Each structure stands twice: as structure tokens, then as C-alpha cells.
Amino acid sequence: MNIVELIPPDLTALSTTGLVLLSFLTSALTAAVGIGGG
């Protein structure tokens, strides 16, 4: 499976990277305070 296939074609590389970083940060934040995350 290629990860590029999961990304909608109308997203740019910058916005995709931003979304990944944002989701990673929120997951790390919630995991740090004990809500969950991953």
C-alpha cells in the first residue's frame, strides 16, 4: 500500500504535512495529560 494513495489529490504537500503534524501534536498532547491518544 502506498501512502500517497491515501492523500486526496487536491491537498498540497504543505497542507498534508500540516495536518499530519497537527494530528501528531494533538495525539501527543492528549496522551501526555492522560486522556488517551496515540
Residue recorded with cell 487536491 = 10
In the chain, the number of structural domains is 1
Q: Are 38 and 31 in contact (CB under 8 A)?
A: yes
Largest Cα span, the chain:
35
| Model-wide pTM > 0.75 | no
**Alpha-carbon distance 26 to 5, whole Å?**
24
Question: Which structural domain, as residue segments, surrounds residue 13?
Answer: 3-36
**Alpha-carbon distance 18 to 3, whole Å?**
16
Percentage of residues of the chain with pLDDT beyond 90? 0
Stretch 2-20: mean pLDDT: 77
